[in-house]
């Protein structure tokens, strides 16, 4: 039985799961990338330093900004076909 708008509820749930998997993969890639770039490998303290915090903040902000730009570019290309 199709829902209003013509989409099958099972298909909508599957699409939502795929979207969640994609977002989790993006988040994990960001964490890995920013960790490698920002965290001192010689753990001196149990807490992040001011420099590490600042680096992580900039890194994560840029990562999501670029992800958004790429998504917009891909979306606009999809509309061209």
| Contact assessment for residue 32 and residue 59, using Cβ atoms and an 8 Å cutoff | no
Q: Hey, is 32 helix, strand or coil?
A: helix
What is the number of structural domains in the chain? 1
Answer whether residue 23 is part of any domain: yes
Domain enclosing residue 62, as ranges: 18-39+49-76
Answer whether residue 12 is part of any domain: no
Answer whether residue 59 is part of any domain: yes
Answer whether residue 9 is part of any domain: no
Task: Tell whether the model's pLDDT for residue 55 goes beyond 70.
Answer: yes
Which residue from 68, 50, 58 is spatially nearest to 34, judged by alpha carbons? Answer: 58
Residue 72, phi then psi, degrees to nearest 5: -65, -40
Task: Tell whether the model's pLDDT for residue 7 goes beyond 80.
Answer: no
Task: Tell whether the model's pLDDT for residue 81 goes beyond 70.
Answer: no
Answer whether residue 57 is part of any domain: yes
Quick one: average pLDDT of 6-10? 82
The CATH number that applies at residue 34 is: 1.10.287.810
Quick one: average pLDDT of 10-27? 93
Please provide the average confidence, as pLDDT, over all residues in the chain: 88
Residue 35: DSSP 8-state: H
- Higher model confidence: residue 77 or residue 24? 24
């Amino acid at each position: 039985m199709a829902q209003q708008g013509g989409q099958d509820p099972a298909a909508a749930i599957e699409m939502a799961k795929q979207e969640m998997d994609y977002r989790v993969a993006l988040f994990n890639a960001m964490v890995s990338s920013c960790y490698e770039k920002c965290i001192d490998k010689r753990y001196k303290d149990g807490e992040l330093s001011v420099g590490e915090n600042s680096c992580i903040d900039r890194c994560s902000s840029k990562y999501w900004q670029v992800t958004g730009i790429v998504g917009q570019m891909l979306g606009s290309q999809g509309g061209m076909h």
